[in-house]
Amino acid sequence: MEPVAGPDLARTWALVPIRGLETAKTRLGGGLDAEERRDLVVDLLERTLVATRDARRVSGTIVVTMDPAAAGIARDHRAVGLVERAPGLNGAISAARSVAVARGATAVLVLPADLPAISATAIDTLLDAADRARSPEAIGLVALVTDQHGRGTNALLVSPPGRIEPLFGPGSRDLHRAAAAGAGAAFVELDGPLGLDVDTIADLEVAEAALGAIGG
């Protein structure tokens, strides 16, 4: 019987899903006009791309989007811009994962493009912590950073890349944990600056109080 591959973070690819520059973050519409919202989305995407580009432990980045303009920003930052019409967020992430695996990825790190405190250091620190938490008995590794409410997933690391399917949506933290258990993978929760995201005006106010103006 062929041995089952265990976790290996040597070639970790970042997957960054974003619906589109004009259509993302519509829940902010009550506090920001369309131009302000677009500026915010572009700022957050570019922060993410700079962080993944400069992280020493990230081998490459794929932005998966329905928007050619967002794919263009990806290419400007030496990332792959994948224009994908797969239905739903999880379908888009799976499509990006296939591209990463074809390029030799041994792990994937899903990073939604709404994490204002993201940095190369934060990503490398997360991957270092996940490396230390690997279990030699487990046949895979699933590590995540939850949102500030402890229910969602702000960052998801999976190795080997297909050990579990992405399950973003309501209650995704518990869904990812259950999927890891079902797959025999070690499950690790990590904290740090990636726990801050921007979904609402209240989130934006918290982020700007901590980090300064976002979005120009």
Query: Can you tell me the distance from the alpha carbon of 134 to that of 142, in angstroms, rounded to the nearest whole number?
Result: 9
So where are the chain's domains?
Answer: 12-209
pTM of the shown model: 0.93
Distance CA 166, CA 36 (A): 30
How far CA 82 is from CA of 73, 79, 127, 141, in Å, comes to: 11, 9, 24, 26
pLDDT, tens digit, 9 for 90 and up, residues 5-29? 678 999 999 999 999 998 776 667 5
Class of domain 12-209: alpha beta
Give 94-120 pLDDT, tens digit per residue: 999 999 999 999 999 999 999 999 999
The tens digit of pLDDT for each residue in 129-180 reads: 999 887 777 889 999 999 988 899 999 999 999 999 999 999 999 999 999 9
